[in-house]
Amino acid sequence: MKSPKKPIRKQVQLKGIPAAPGIVIGKAYIFGTEELHAPERNISFEEVPVEIARFKRALLETRKEITKVEEKISREMGVEHGRIFSAHLLVLEDPVLVEEVITHLKKKKKNIEFIFVRILDKYVDVLSEAKDEYLRDRISDIMDVGRRILRNLLGAENRGMEDLTEKSVVIAYDLSPSDTAMMHKGRVIGFATDIGGRTSHTAIMAKSLEIPAVVGLENVTDIIRHGDMVILDGTHGMVIVNPTKRFIEKYEKEKKRYEHIEKGLFGLKSLSSETIDGHHVILAGNIELPEDVASVIAHGAEGIGLYRTEYFYMNRRDLPSEEEQFNAYKSVAMRVKPHHVIIRTLDIGGDKFLSHLEMPKEMNPFMGWRAIRFCLASPVIFKAQLRAILRASAFGKLKLMYPMISGISEFRQANALLEDVKCDLRRKGIPFNNDIEVGAMIEVPSAAMTSDIIAKEADFFSIGTNDLIQYALAVDRVNEKIAYLYEPTHPAVLSLIKMVIDNGHKEKIPVGLCGEMAGDIALVIILLGLGLDEFSASPIAIPEIKQVVRSVKYSVAKVIAEKSLQMQTGEEVRQFAKARLREMVPELADDELSSGV
Amino acid sequence: MMAIVEKKITIRNETGLHARPAALFVRIANKFESAITIAKDDQTVNGKSIMGILMLAAEKGARISIIADGNDAEKAVDELSEILSQDIESNELGQVK
């Protein structure tokens, strides 16, 4: 039993794992999946055959139920989804499981429900200890079948999504495949769960049902109450409980924008990202998982400008093996070829943490022991990643980028470790690209200001604006109270960006930008005019950026950028940029948000 | 003809035996009259039991033995080892990657 929920009226934002994209706003419906629980009772020797008969009957009834669901799902969603249930039948009819239950029944002389739950618990316990995510995900299959059998034994009614009467955002600890499959299209507008990863059935079903979903929120069922208003952003993995009016408005706009892009801008996919006067820039996508490559390609991006690798290290107890990383990097490299993929080495710390490493609590984590600082101090972890990246570099156009470089020394230290790894691979005759390009992420003001020095040794720069802005303006980007100070258009930020681009170009290396700012539509013209070579943003932002690029002249963008640099406040620049966007790309100016989400 | 046939193989497919091919393996195993056992290290499980196979947690590269005992032992071992030697990308447990 969970403790009673605390009443909340304040807005709460929860971050989980994005499972299926899209934004919905609606009332929460708390869906309880009962724990497997059965009353305990002693039985006599004579009752044993009676209990066995009850068990067999329950198995038969369950078989009928599952077959029915399987047919329904295969018909409505396709055979591949129906297969989940034929795997359920295998669990149901498992000879070892059935025999074990009967043997225990005879030995312990307890009622069948009790015995059954105990045996099933034993299997679930073993699987929940498994290192492999796939195996852990199987627990929900087994629980699903177990719950059905138990319901049939206890004669309890099948409670499913059927009792949903109005459009709701379903909130649950976990959703079994049967629960998800029975969701009424139209009534369930989105869902959020405590557990589950990107590869869990729940996430996969959500994607194919096209219902926005966030999983792995850990405590969403404790926080949300029945009937609470929630915003669910399945694209970014956010759930906002009791949102303020401002937030609802912001997300309604974002929702419109999202739908607009999905519908209208797909036509731009095969067109080149060049200005009216023929200046080409690379529009690349940011990804977190190999699966995200599909979206990058679908939105017409030219490669990947930021492949975040933290996902490997989070939500698990062990370290990812070199092999696991190699396979992922290789598959991404091969699919994105001939375009490039910029892999950012581990950027842990700050707002992210490794679940298996005891990272000390810090007063000021964004300025603490993180990213390249952590990697240089943990050469075993760092080298395993470098080896994986180098080995994968034989299969496509991979580039390597170090995060949070604050000066040339760190860049050199990281490169020295890279050289060690290269030597080792060479000695063992393992193929890799010896000329792999190595770049620095420029997100610390000191690196921006010494970018002339770093440019002499780096093969490219990528400006990480999220952190650059917060460090340059001394604004904690997760603190709501000072959010108004977080201004991408602040003159200090613009001149740092200009400095980095100019210093890069002096040494003839390309300069990209991979923060949220790249997807901030009003600012595209300015960044373009500053001479940026590559924009890397979340894939859904690509079509809009492309439309802006294709609607302007590079010569005009340069003038606009020059004017922006003369201005005194961020607000002035923002208004100026918006006005220019309205003139040049009126169709996008209407749904332009004042700042990215 | 009664016989006990054993064959040692290495799991080839990326996700291991516990993943996608497990369900297929169990289905095929159940077609045969012979008793089917899978052994890994010192652990043995019933090859007709999905739960047993999941408990085995045999990952890529694991060495396992398939042992069949019965009239159709030879054929059973041949067919079952065939499943595990290929890199099966079918979707037998419903997992879509």
For the segment A379-401, the average pLDDT, to the nearest whole number, is: 96
For the segment B7-18, the average pLDDT, to the nearest whole number, is: 74
Q: Do A91 and B51 touch (CB under 8 A)?
A: yes
Give the residue extent of every domain in chain A. 1-244, 273-566
Per-residue confidence band for A430, with pLDDT thresholds at 50, 70 and 90:
very high
Q: Do A177 and B94 touch (CB under 8 A)?
A: yes
Q: Which of A77, A80, A83 to mutate to test the interface with B (most CBs of B within 10 A)?
A: A83
Q: Do A132 and B26 touch (CB under 8 A)?
A: no
Does the pLDDT value for residue A331 go beyond 90?
Answer: yes
β-pairing verdict for A238-241 and A12-15: antiparallel
The pLDDT of residue A1 is 36
The pTM (predicted TM-score) of the whole model is 0.59
Q: Do B96 and A208 touch (CB under 8 A)?
A: yes
Rounded-to-integer distance, Cα A237 and Cα A18, Å? 4
pLDDT digits (tens, 9 = 90+) for A26-42: 999 888 655 667 778 89
The pLDDT of residue B24 is 83
How high does pLDDT run on average in chain A? 85
Domains and CATH numbers, chain B: 3-85 (3.30.1340.10)
Per-residue confidence band for A265, with pLDDT thresholds at 50, 70 and 90:
low
For residue A80, give the nearest of B16, B19, B91 by CB distance: B91
Fold of A273-566: TIM Barrel (3.20.20)
CB of A205 within 8 Å of any CB in chain B?
Answer: no
Alpha helices in A370-464, H assignment, sequence order: 371-377, 379-392, 408-428, 445-449, 451-455
The pLDDT of residue B16 is 67
For the segment A331-353, the average pLDDT, to the nearest whole number, is: 86
* List of chain A residues whose C-beta atoms are within 8 Å of the C-beta of residue B91: 80, 83
For residue B54, give the nearest of A127, A177, A327 by CB distance: A127
The pLDDT of residue A489 is 96
A452: which 2 tokens?
A: 């002339």
Q: Do B51 and A87 touch (CB under 8 A)?
A: no
For residue A134, give the nearest of B19, B51, B96 by CB distance: B19
Share of chain B above pLDDT 90, in %: 28
pLDDT digits (tens, 9 = 90+) for A212-262: 999 888 778 778 887 889 999 998 899 999 999 888 998 998 888 777 766
Fold of A1-244: Enzyme I; Chain A, domain 2 (1.10.274)
Total Cβ atoms within 10 A of residue A161? 20
For the segment A480-486, the average pLDDT, to the nearest whole number, is: 82
How high does pLDDT run on average in chain B? 79
The pLDDT of residue A2 is 39
* Residues facing A359 on adjacent strands: none
C-alpha closest to that of A540 among A299, A339, A213, A253? A299
Q: Which of A73, A74, A131, A138 to mutate to test the interface with B (most CBs of B within 10 A)?
A: A138
Among the listed ranges A130-139, A443-452, A525-534, B36-45, which one has the minimum average pLDDT value?
A: A130-139
β-pairing verdict for A460-463 and A213-215: unpaired
Q: Do the domains A273-566 and A1-244 match in fold?
A: no
For the segment A260-266, the average pLDDT, to the nearest whole number, is: 68
The pLDDT of residue A3 is 41
